[in-house]
Amino acid sequence: MQDLNRVIDQVSREKGIEKSIVIKAIEDMMLSAAKRTFGSDHRFEARFNPSLGEVELFEIKSVVATPTNPNSEIDLVTAKERYDPEAELGDEILIKLDTATMGRIAAQAAKQNLIQHIREAERKQIYAEFKDRKGEIVTGIVQRFERKNIIVNLGRTEAILPEKEQIPHERYRQGDRIRALILDVQLTDRDLIITLSRTSEDFLRKLFELEVPEIYEGIVEIRQCAREPGARAKVAVYSKDPDVDPVGACVGMKGTRVQAIVQELRGEKIDIVPWTDDQAELVCRALAPAKVSKVILDEEEHSMEVIVPDDQLSLAIGKRGQNVRLAHRLTGWKLEVRGDSEAEEEARAARAALNAIQGIGEINAELLYQLGFRSAEQLAEADEESLIAEGISKERAHQLIAAAKAHVEKARALNADSSSAQTTTEGQQAEAQQDATATLRHKTEAGQEQSSLTSSEPNVSAEVKP
């Protein structure tokens, strides 16, 4: 135990642990060794003496009149004669023990206990350091590969980059430098688990924060972002300063800022759009580079029907629906993208369906179409209050809905009659078919009977003699 101060200083410095924690671990080690040597029914106390540079071990005994347990009790006379002349009943006597009397096995067990305590203290220290760093970007070295997970050396500890948090088709070799976002930090009884991510949208946000000073300073905000890692991303930005262009700030001079992020993400394409509180305009911007002709908004369903030129339809949808998927995630609206020709054909059919209602007229049909009605059934199921809210009088709203209900009932009656007539015709055809089949069967049976009779007559032959 000589020069224990130097050992404590070295361990504290190398492991980044406070000296008090190391001293506590050494004291616990001595207590463990003492219990293994002398028995667990003894009471001990270990104290580190910095002036001596060693841990002093004491056995604790209570002063009683008549001891019943010699391992933990001592009589008053013996206590006064051997240890403390001023001892009294009820006092506790500390008897210093010689640590050299402890055996090799106990010392080895104490050493293992010390290592365990130091490792546990180190884990807690690292956890305290990293638990508040969730959402930060760290740089590490690829240490090894476990199955398809990457183990990253962060210096004092290791972190794991799971397969699902890796950008698709991204490859690393041992010793490569890697940047990732701290996704989670967990401290278990056995280990410290730091999980990294390169696919998180927060990773993209933090990269912009590192590359764009205006974002770091809070002048430009990333209001929303959506990405499909390794393929494409969309970022909506907003500037608090009217003199600062948010898109230009993120792109940088000759695109240097955004290109640095693209290189870090291994070629992931990034679309930067200016944020606006006008949701229809935001959707149009989110669908860029496609041009939008018209947007029909449905607040109740929180959806939009987006009409684009026919030659822009594939561009608006994107490869395997990627562009419209990212626009949906960026804006939060359900999007249905259609071409002009398809939308015009549906509009003509809807106007014709509304105009077919008796007493509606072209003007009312157009008005109802603009209000979102596309069929007589839809109008028949509407309530008068919804039409009144759009500026239609109560009497006219009642007439329109009544006309739509009458039209729907008439159409259903015609369909029912048509179905009934079709069923009757089919029944008659089935009966005629059955009669024909029965007649054919009767003729067949009659022919068989005639053949049977002919074959049953005896053969009569006459022989003529000359």
The Cα–Cα gap between 144 and 160 comes to: 10
Q: In terms of domains, do 54 and 149 share one?
A: no
User: Which burial class, exposed, middle or buried, applies to 375 when counting CB atoms under 10 A from its CB (0-12, 13-18, 19+)?
Assistant: middle
CATH number for the domain spanning 383: value is: 1.10.150
Residues 6+ apart with CB under 8 A from 134: 182, 183, 184, 185
- Domain assignment of residue 21, yes or no: yes
CATH number for the domain spanning 234: value is: 3.30.300.20
- Domain assignment of residue 157, yes or no: yes
The Cα–Cα gap between 399 and 154 comes to: 75
Q: In terms of domains, do 118 and 23 share one?
A: yes
3-state SS of 44-84 is: EEEEEECCCCEEEEEEEEEEECCCCCCCCEEEHHHHHHHHC
- Domain assignment of residue 337, yes or no: no
Q: In terms of domains, do 122 and 8 share one?
A: yes
Helix and strand numbers, DSSP H then E, in the chain:
16, 15
Q: In terms of domains, do 11 and 119 share one?
A: yes
The Cα–Cα gap between 347 and 335 comes to: 18
Q: In terms of domains, do 120 and 34 share one?
A: yes
Q: How many domains does the chain have?
A: 4
Q: In terms of domains, do 122 and 158 share one?
A: no
CATH number for the domain spanning 117: value is: 3.30.1480.10
Q: Which two tokens stand for residue 228?
A: 């499909």
- Domain assignment of residue 14, yes or no: yes
Domain stops at, among 255, 275, 295: 275
Full pLDDT tens readout for the chain, 466 residues: 446 777 777 777 767 777 777 788 777 877 877 777 777 778 888 888 787 777 788 888 888 888 877 777 888 888 887 887 887 888 887 878 776 666 565 556 666 766 777 777 778 888 888 888 999 999 999 999 998 999 999 988 899 999 999 999 889 999 999 999 999 999 887 788 999 999 999 999 999 999 999 999 999 999 999 999 999 999 999 999 999 999 999 999 999 999 999 999 989 999 999 999 999 999 999 998 889 988 888 888 899 989 999 888 999 999 889 999 999 999 999 999 988 888 777 777 777 777 777 777 777 777 777 777 777 777 777 777 777 777 777 777 777 778 778 787 877 777 776 655 555 555 566 565 666 555 556 555 555 544 443 444 433 333 333 2
* Element (DSSP H or E) covering residue 89: none
In terms of DSSP bridges, do strands 192-197 and 220-228 run parallel, antiparallel, or are they unpaired? unpaired
Buried b (16+ CB within 10 A) or exposed e, 297-318: eeeeeeebbbbbeeebbebbbb
The Cα–Cα gap between 229 and 161 comes to: 15
Domain that residue 400 falls in: 356-421
Query: CA-based angle 247:250:254, to the nearest 5?
Result: 95
Name the nearest CA neighbour of 200 among 233, 229, 171, 162: 229
Q: In terms of domains, do 180 and 231 share one?
A: no
- Domain assignment of residue 285, yes or no: no
- The pLDDT value given to residue 454: 41
* Element (DSSP H or E) covering residue 346: helix 340-355
Q: In terms of domains, do 43 and 117 share one?
A: yes
Q: Is the dihedral of CA 289, 290, 291, 295 positive or negative?
A: negative
Q: In terms of domains, do 140 and 248 share one?
A: no
Q: In terms of domains, do 9 and 122 share one?
A: yes
The pTM for the full model equals: 0.65
Q: In terms of domains, do 25 and 85 share one?
A: yes
Q: In terms of domains, do 191 and 226 share one?
A: no
Rg (CA), the chain: 45
Domain stops at, among 127, 145, 164: 127
Q: Which two tokens stand for residue 458?
A: 């005896």
